[in-house]
Amino acid sequence: MKGLNSLFLAAMMLAVPFLAQAEQMPEFHIIIKNHKFQPAEVVVPANTKVKLIVENQDATPEEFESHEMHREKIIAGNKTAKILIGPLKPGKYPFFGEFNQDTAQGMVIAE
């Protein structure tokens, strides 16, 4: 059991430095209105962690989801949420509103 306990302690010691984070990151604002993302395309710097500020102006909740960016976040009606993404390699990363997929479609473009 000593081995397992040592493993825990080593893992915890290793984990602490990983809590560090850059103090500033670029922010981008997206509005959800009438079950659509506005803007539908967001251009972000590649290889940089960025923050999406998503404001849901609809009365109903929406889920921001992107398998490509590994993000999933429900935003209540008339509420705002922050979604941190990246660093992304240059390319296009689609996202959608899970509760209104017919209309709520968008794209993050990293360049």
How far is CA 57 from its chain centroid? Answer: 18
Gyration radius from the chain CA atoms: 18
Which residue among 35, 46, 55, 73 contacts another protein (CB under 8 A)? 73
Which residue among 38, 47, 57, 103 contacts another protein (CB under 8 A)? 38
Alpha carbon distances (Å) from 88 to 5, 19, 20, 34, 85: 36, 20, 19, 29, 8
CB of residue 24 to another protein, shortest distance in Å: 5
**Residue from 66, 68, 110 nearest 89 by CA:** 110
32 touches another protein (CB under 8 A): no
Which residue among 84, 91, 92, 94 contacts another protein (CB under 8 A)? 84
CB of residue 110 to another protein, shortest distance in Å: 12
86 contacts 110 by C-beta, under 8 angstroms: yes
Binding positions for another protein, rule: CB under 8 A: 1-2, 4-5, 7-9, 11-12, 15-16, 18-21, 23-30, 38-44, 49, 51-52, 61, 63, 67, 70-76, 81-86, 89, 98-99
